[in-house]
Amino acid sequence: MRSIRTFRHGGIRTEGEDTWIPRHPVQSAFLPNRAVVLLKQHSGSPARCVVRRGEYIREGMVIGRANGNFSGNVHAPVPGIVKEIRATLLPDGGEAEAVVIALEGSFDRLGRRLERYVWSSMSRSDMLQTINERGVIETEPPGRPVFDILRQRARTDLLVLNAIESEPFLKTETALFLDKANEVIDAMGILRKLLEPARMVIAVDSPEIEKAALEAASLAAAGASSLPSIEILHLERKYPQDLDGQLLDAIEGPRRRAKAEFLTIRPTTAFAIFEAIVLAKPMLERYVTVGGKSVKRPAVLKARIGTSIGDLLAECGGFQGRPARLLVGGPFRGIAAYDLEAPITKTTTAILALSDSEVGRLRRSPCIRCGRCARACPEGLDPNRLYRFLGKGRSVEASLEGLGQCTLCGSCGYICPSRVPLVAAFSTAERGSAGARMAK
């Protein structure tokens, strides 16, 4: 039996998450009657709105133009009339400008067979421009535009297709990969042309994905696409295996961790690249996991950007019992939503309605210095010590202890039997230090 690799330090194995298998092929969700399309779905500044109220827009038309670095184009996910352009509440309580489109008229893409473009003759800059034009961004927060990521790279030693679900409960990457393995492998070919990596690896942590990846890779190798050998690495299922540092640690070992120039990419992002270049399709829809015990019929759905999370929940049968938590994203790095009207964006990986038993006991008690947090920390920090420093306002000492290395993965907070709000303190501190840097 092969030894299954993983990162060296810390990490957690969660228990009690639901174990349903996403249906294959993934179904499309109902089209939204009113699509609320945020103009900021990416890490940079909001896109500039280029439509007016009352205007009729077609499916896939640009409605927001990228505005500076790490900003991205925003397209109309459905055809219709621009009802209003207004500030909308985000799931986390923030505000952003959104274009509200009332569904109307006919579809240019839906239901039509799409022509496949042969990309092998495209130049590097053409491909990059296409990716930029189609508004392709990373499919998880913070949503860095793929154009900006690729453009800056001079050298890539290692390209990793990160087919590991980022958090427990999520099935998004799995569902996409089982559906679209061939397309994802094609996207690897596109990236190979763009980056010329020395090594390409598909990191998986489930046998199903490994099987699908093997089949697709051998199919591609047999075909004319002349892909280099893609290694498939089966890593242990341990959170947070998907983070860049931990992934590289598992693949290359800790010594090479600092040196290697590497890029990780998610299957969903790779698929968006494939669609942009081969099908000339902007990012209009995405795979979303609707899960948790408080959802009647958990599923992975292909949803148009701008669909409300309430609509997706309703399509999955609505709530079952009273949900203890409603989350956009995963249970570790997602955000607690308080508005069912909040729209799906390009970075919405999941909507989770968790039951009390899945959440677990919340009540705080005093720290008993058990050391579980330090053993769980994948960065080898001592969260309890950092927390005590921050509690006393001694942020300099906290930084010296390595606060800057914290990835906010949440392992310490999950494992803490006393429910000390470690992660909240660290994220506040990191926001504070980011603010301090901006001020300088």
Partner 1 sequence: MKKAHDLLVGPPPYIFNRQSTPSIIWGTVAALSPALAWGLYSFGISAAAPVLASLLAAAAAEGAVCLVTKRFTLWDGSAVLTGLLVSLAMPPGVPLYVPVISAAFAVVVVKGIFGGLGSNWMNPALGGVAFAILNWPQEMRTWILPRQLDGTTAVSGATPLGLIQSRLITAGSDASSLLGAGGMPITYADTMATGALNQGLFSRLGAELPSGYIDLLIGNRTGTLGELSGLLILAASVFIISRKFIRWQIPASMIGSFTLLVWIFGGLPFGRGFLAGDVLFALLNGSLLLVAFFMAPDPVTSPSSRWGMLAFGFGAGSLTFLLRQFGSSSEGTTFAVLIMNCFTPLLDRPRGLGRRGAPQET
What is the CA 393 to chain-centroid distance, rounded?
33
Cβ distance to partner 1 smaller for residue 223 or 318: 318
Distance CA 68, CA 179 (A): 34
DSSP letter for each residue of 375-404: HH-TT---HHHHHHHHHTT-HHHHHHTTGG
* Contact call for residues 349 and 289 (beta carbons, < 8 A): yes
338-397 residues near partner 1, rule: CB under 8 A: 338-340, 352, 354, 358-363, 365-371, 374, 396-397
DSSP state letters, 24-84: SSPEEPPPPSEEEEES--SSSSPPEE---TT-EE-TT-EEEE--STT---EE-SS-EEEEE
Q: DSSP string covering 99-111, please?
A: EEEEE-S--SSTT
- With CA atoms as reference, report the closest residue to 334 among 138, 203, 141, 110: 141
CB of 287 to partner 1, least distance (A): 21
Please report, as a single letter, which amino acid is at residue 192: R
Minimum distance, C-beta of residue 396 to partner 1, in the bound complex (Å): 6
Q: Which of 1, 15, 125, 437 binds partner 1 (CB under 8 A)?
A: 15
Considering only 46, 135, 189, 331, the residue that binds partner 1 (CB under 8 A) is 331
Does residue number 335 form part of the binding site for partner 1 (CB under 8 A)? yes
From the CB of residue 140, how many other CB atoms can be counted at a distance below 10 Å? 25
Comparing CB distances to partner 1, the nearer of 132 and 355 is 355
- What tokens appear for 17 in the block? 């998450």
In whole angstroms, the minimum distance from the beta carbon of 124 to partner 1 comes to 39
Place of tokens 């500044």: 45
Q: Return the residue of 80, 267, 323, 378 that touches partner 1, per CB under 8 A.
A: 323
Beta strand 74-75 with 62-65 is antiparallel
Q: Of 80, 141, 240, 334, which one interacts with partner 1 (CB under 8 A)?
A: 334
> How many CB atoms lie under 10 A from the CB of residue 34?
18
415 near partner 1 (CB under 8 A): yes
Rounded to an integer, what distance in angstroms lies between the CA atom of residue 317 and that of residue 297?
6
Written as six digits, the tokens of 20 are: 């349903």
18 vs 244, beta carbon nearer partner 1: 18
By C-beta, is 360 or 432 nearer to partner 1? 360
Comparison of 135 and 334: residue with beta carbon closer to partner 1: 334
- Mark 142-171 with x for binding to partner 1 (rule: CB under 8 A) and - for no binding: --------------------------x---
CB of 427 to partner 1, least distance (A): 7
> Environment class of residue 332 by beta-carbon count within 10 Å: exposed (0-12), middle (13-18) or buried (19+)?
buried
Of 157 and 341, CB closest to partner 1: 341
Under the binding rule (CB under 8 A), the answer on residue 423 touching partner 1 is: yes
Among 7, 10, 12, 145, binds partner 1 (CB under 8 A): 12
**For partner 1, which is the closer residue by CB, 96 or 340?**
340
Measured from the CB atom, the residue of 194 and 423 that comes closer to partner 1 is 423
Is 337 an interacting residue with respect to partner 1 (CB under 8 A)? yes
| 400 lies in the binding site for partner 1 (CB under 8 A) | yes
Which residue number, 225 or 418, has a Cβ lying nearer to partner 1?
418
- The Cα–Cα gap between 21 and 179 comes to 13
Binding-site ranges for partner 1 (CB under 8 A): 12, 14-17, 168, 310, 313-314, 318-319, 322-327, 331-340, 352, 354, 358-363, 365-371, 374, 396-397, 400-401, 408, 410, 413-419, 421, 423-424, 427
